[in-house]
Amino acid sequence: MTDIKVGLIGFGNIGAGVVRLLNENSETIRRKVGCGILLKRIADLDITSDRGVSVDPSILTTDVNEIFNDTEITIVIELIGGYEPAKTFVLRAIAAGKHVVTANKALLALHGEEIYAAASAKGVEVQFEAAVGGGIPVLSAIKGNMAGNRFNSIFGILNGTCNYILTQMTQEGADFDEVLQSAQQLGYAEPDPTFDIEGTDTAHKLAVLASLCFGTRIDFGAIHTEGITGISGIDISFAAEFGYRIKLLAIGKLSDDGKLEVRVHPTMIPLNNPLADVNGVFNAIRLTGDFVGPVMFYGRGAGQNPTASAVTGDLIAISRSITAGVKNRRAAPLGFLDSTVVNIPLKPVEEIVTSFMLRFTALDQPGVLAGIAGVLGKNGISIKSMVQTARHNGGQAVPIVIMTHEAAEGAIRLALEEVDSFEFISEKSRLIRIEDNLE
Amino acid sequence: MTDIKVGLIGFGNIGAGVVRLLNENSETIRRKVGCGILLKRIADLDITSDRGVSVDPSILTTDVNEIFNDTEITIVIELIGGYEPAKTFVLRAIAAGKHVVTANKALLALHGEEIYAAASAKGVEVQFEAAVGGGIPVLSAIKGNMAGNRFNSIFGILNGTCNYILTQMTQEGADFDEVLQSAQQLGYAEPDPTFDIEGTDTAHKLAVLASLCFGTRIDFGAIHTEGITGISGIDISFAAEFGYRIKLLAIGKLSDDGKLEVRVHPTMIPLNNPLADVNGVFNAIRLTGDFVGPVMFYGRGAGQNPTASAVTGDLIAISRSITAGVKNRRAAPLGFLDSTVVNIPLKPVEEIVTSFMLRFTALDQPGVLAGIAGVLGKNGISIKSMVQTARHNGGQAVPIVIMTHEAAEGAIRLALEEVDSFEFISEKSRLIRIEDNLE
């Protein structure tokens, strides 16, 4: 059987990993596919830098058209990231009748619908396992063996940079700024870490995950997204005192009212939940299906080798469907047939019901607790427990931490606004959402 | 598109789950496959008992031939378990040109080669995700998205009964017999639990897992298999003292010398490894691939609903390949093309190198430690640490626990035999293997 010919656009860190994997494991791949997977052409603006992998210089080009116009190339890998020119290149590959493998979560989160429709119309596949969770094969599992389930929920630790920072803050008691700096020195955080620490990258991945689990389009702009920049050491230690760990979670939940919650924010999870022990740059995704129950996937969520593993897995899947001589290619990049993908209405964040840890900073004087408790009560928020650690001789600001029973976020926000208008409040009050039952 | 017609052999607990899933989630399945999956015929010796699911009585039969002879039925599900008549039925289904879905690990562990060869010769698929890890889609992941990797190792907690018992012994400090009895009352252990507690069920699953990861045939009889019946509370508490938890692990490792270790035994794993926190009836599988690195899958390893999820996932995979009009079906039930499956030599257990916890029961008298240490030293076994808790006024037997550095199991066995010949030894000495680095 003749080899499957592949074109790669983007010869960066991940691209070099794919080149190395296809070199080193060519025999294993041949045993599994029945033919080789041959990288015939690599396009990049920079074709002179050493990427630390052996590659025949004659396959390198700065002209991406050499990939689109090569009729022997049946699969195109897009690894340049970002919106443009990635989108244009992916659509051109599809228009040329080529299958596409991409790791580009930003592109799929914002322009997935257009790309999937183009692929379906053309009868080609779009595979993107590397877009979520690096090497963890969670998307394949959702579309594949777990496809008989209706999913209830997704909880994901999807950004290694944030998880590394929160882990260091938790284990070393270090400050956010300090840890971010060391993460940058270690290469765990980008020079401009905004997309990671503000939660945008996690939200991109959640949009992809939720669309696969629930068979719905997701309006990316409607995902409630908060990063970890507001988390301080005091939040982490109070959370621990109450038996919780703080993680940046991507949450997707189908509510009883038929609406979908999709949100990204720092979340307190019980210490005895396996997600609480996912540390450092590792990622994990916990899903609950109506039959399979809770399932968790854990592994390296980024990096050259794990991401190359996921990209190669996609190449193998497409290569197998080519060698199998598939006649009627399914138009179902999300696992659901395109024609059956719906628009589940999203639940506004104000309507979301959960329990909260509230942290107030108030002058240490009589009447403070009564004032806060009164406002919470008026807004229908019931208090589960309370802690006030430091006690000074009056006058100084001290933290007051309150754990609530379940309440609607809208009510909590109103209450915090009212509390913050008290004169004895010296800093903006903080809320952290709690997930007690990750199902 | 016309519905895919399925025949089910074995209408027990799992079979009833599959019936219910196909009923309740028919619309979801239709959105993912493009047609329905219709259970056309169910064969069982007992067709009168109520299984708690709604089923048209006219599809029930006691004559399994009604499935084999029905030319409309393209997929046969085997859920009767055990070797016979399951093997005969599976081979008859294949001979009749039907695809097969089975959850039968015992059958595959002992007769997989014959079944896979028959399926390949006939050009039909055999899928068996439910055979390992219940609802956890680990086999699909190994054959699918992680296929680009060469795997180094497998560590699995694969038997819910054993893990429930060990968890209860650890958390409640209860005895083995006591916990087994309550597990039987709760339905977590069979009336005859031999296959579970002696490690046989785990070994069946390891045989299947290892064949997929390493592309090799496994001689089931050559898997070193020890169950949990010899584990006592004292082992668990000494392990905890040294920072370990005891789990019944399935271990598969490709050694540097090209030999394969496949073994099932109680194993001490570090408390900070995520596998140590897999409790109760949950299962988990940790794999390490050369590119993906360590990956862990966690979920319910048994039970009606999770197992039905895995069986249905297999049905969906085959249904998709039918609707896609596959021309050249791949003869690769293990993920590797049949023609490339090899026989990796297994490493004899005596050659396996690991560290050990050794527990001696000795009379409390002078010279005991010197005697034991002398024998270990003579056999090239170096001591890492030692603990001797109880101190009586001489005469009585006390436990002495020694942690070793890495040593070959053969040397350890020789040493224990020699130690056990000392007069001051009052019980057979015990060894528990340690896995410090689960990769």
**Looking at residues A337-352, what average pLDDT do you find?**
96
pLDDT tens digits for range B196-247: 999 999 999 999 999 999 999 999 999 999 999 999 999 999 999 999 999 9
Q: Does B145 touch chain A (CB under 8 A)?
A: yes
Helices (H), ranges, A40-104? 65-68, 86-95
Report the CATH number at residue A358.
Answer: 3.30.70.260
- Position A390 scores a pLDDT of 63
**CB nearest B129 (choices: A145, A310, A312):** A145
* A205 labelled catalytic: yes
- Position A66 scores a pLDDT of 98
**Looking at residues A11-39, what average pLDDT do you find?**
97
- Position B126 scores a pLDDT of 97
Q: What does the alpha-carbon distance between residue A230 and residue A236 come to, in Å, rounded to a whole number?
A: 11
pLDDT tens digits for range A137-168: 999 999 999 999 999 999 999 999 999 999 99
Half-sphere exposure of A187 (CA within 13 A, CB side): 4
pLDDT tens digits for range B20-62: 999 999 999 999 999 999 999 999 999 999 999 999 999 999 9
Is A344 contained in some domain?
Answer: no
A135: confidence class by pLDDT, cuts 50, 70, 90: very high
Interface of B with A in 296-355 (CB under 8 A): 296-300, 303, 305-306, 308-310, 312-317, 320-321, 323-330, 332, 335-337, 340
**Looking at residues A101-117, what average pLDDT do you find?**
97
- Asked if A72 and A45 sit in the same domain, the reply is yes
Is B142 contained in some domain?
Answer: no
Q: What does the alpha-carbon distance between residue B283 and residue B285 come to, in Å, rounded to a whole number?
A: 7
Q: Which of B243, B268, B300 is the last residue of a domain?
A: B300
pLDDT tens digits for range A373-387: 999 999 999 999 999
- Asked if B179 and B287 sit in the same domain, the reply is yes
- Position A48 scores a pLDDT of 94
Pairing of β B353-363 and β B407-408: antiparallel
Cβ <8 Å between B324 and A328 = yes
Cβ <8 Å between B309 and A149 = yes
- Asked if A296 and A406 sit in the same domain, the reply is no
User: Structurally, how many domains does chain A consist of?
Assistant: 3
A391: confidence class by pLDDT, cuts 50, 70, 90: low
- Asked if B424 and B390 sit in the same domain, the reply is yes
Angle, CA B113 vertex, CA B110 and CA B115 arms, to 5°: 95
pLDDT at A86 over 70: yes
- Position A17 scores a pLDDT of 97
pLDDT at B409 over 80: yes
- Position A395 scores a pLDDT of 65
- Asked if A9 and A56 sit in the same domain, the reply is yes
- Asked if A316 and A404 sit in the same domain, the reply is no
Average pLDDT taken over every residue of chain A: 95
Is B141 contained in some domain?
Answer: no
- Asked if A186 and A248 sit in the same domain, the reply is yes
pLDDT tens digits for range A162-212: 999 999 999 999 999 999 999 999 888 889 999 999 999 999 999 999 999
Is A122 contained in some domain?
Answer: yes
- Asked if B120 and B210 sit in the same domain, the reply is no
Q: What does the alpha-carbon distance between residue A232 and residue A265 come to, in Å, rounded to a whole number?
A: 14
β-sheet bridge partners, residue B399: B361
- The DSSP H or E segment spanning A300 is strand A293-300
- Asked if A25 and A41 sit in the same domain, the reply is yes
Q: What does the alpha-carbon distance between residue A115 and residue A196 come to, in Å, rounded to a whole number?
A: 24
- Position A364 scores a pLDDT of 87
Q: Does A383 touch chain B (CB under 8 A)?
A: no
**Looking at residues A52-61, what average pLDDT do you find?**
96
Cβ <8 Å between B330 and A324 = yes
- The DSSP H or E segment spanning B416 is helix B409-419
CB A104 within 8 A of CB A195: no
pTM of the full structure: 0.96
Q: What is the DSSP string of A135-160?
A: T--HHHHHHTTTTTSPEEEEEEE--H
- Asked if B51 and B160 sit in the same domain, the reply is no
CB A360 within 8 A of CB A372: yes
Is B324 contained in some domain?
Answer: yes
A392: confidence class by pLDDT, cuts 50, 70, 90: low
Closest CA to B291 of A265, A424, A19: A19
Angle, CA A77 vertex, CA A74 and CA A80 arms, to 5°: 150
Q: Does A150 touch chain B (CB under 8 A)?
A: yes
**CB nearest B312 (choices: A148, A308, A329):** A148
Q: What is the DSSP string of B9-77?
A: E--SHHHHHHHHHHHHTHHHHHHHHSS-EEEEEEE-S--SS--SS---GGGEES-THHHHT-TTEEEEE
pLDDT tens digits for range B114-147: 999 999 999 999 999 999 999 999 999 999 999 9
Cβ <8 Å between A309 and B148 = yes
**Looking at residues B314-332, what average pLDDT do you find?**
91
Is B439 contained in some domain?
Answer: no
Tell me how close the Cα of B38 comes to any Cα of chain A, in angstroms: 14
Written as six digits, the tokens of A216 are: 């719905």
Structural domain boundaries, residue B369: 349-434
Pairing of β B126-127 and β B99-102: parallel
- Catalytic position from the list A98, A105, A122, A205: A205
Which of residues A99 and A365 earns the better pLDDT score?
A99
- Asked if A152 and A284 sit in the same domain, the reply is yes
Tell me how close the Cα of B407 comes to any Cα of chain A, in angstroms: 30
Interface of A with B in 18-57 (CB under 8 A): 21, 24-25, 28-29, 31-32, 34
- Position B160 scores a pLDDT of 95
DSSP structure class, residue A310: H
Report the CATH number at residue B206.
Answer: 3.30.360.10
Handedness of CA B319, B324, B330, B334 (dihedral sign): negative
Q: Does A133 touch chain B (CB under 8 A)?
A: no
Share of chain B above pLDDT 70, in %: 98
Q: Does A171 touch chain B (CB under 8 A)?
A: no
Report the CATH number at residue B108.
Answer: 3.40.50.720
- Position B390 scores a pLDDT of 63
pLDDT tens digits for range A307-339: 999 999 999 999 999 999 888 887 899 999 999
Handedness of CA A19, A23, A28, A29 (dihedral sign): positive
Half-sphere exposure of A160 (CA within 13 A, CB side): 23
- Position B331 scores a pLDDT of 82
Angle, CA B208 vertex, CA B206 and CA B210 arms, to 5°: 65
**Alpha-carbon Rg of chain B, whole angstroms?**
24
Is B140 contained in some domain?
Answer: no
Is B94 contained in some domain?
Answer: yes
Pairing of β B151-157 and β B224-225: unpaired
- Asked if B79 and B218 sit in the same domain, the reply is no
- Position A207 scores a pLDDT of 98
Closest CA to A128 of A211, A20, A197, A237: A211
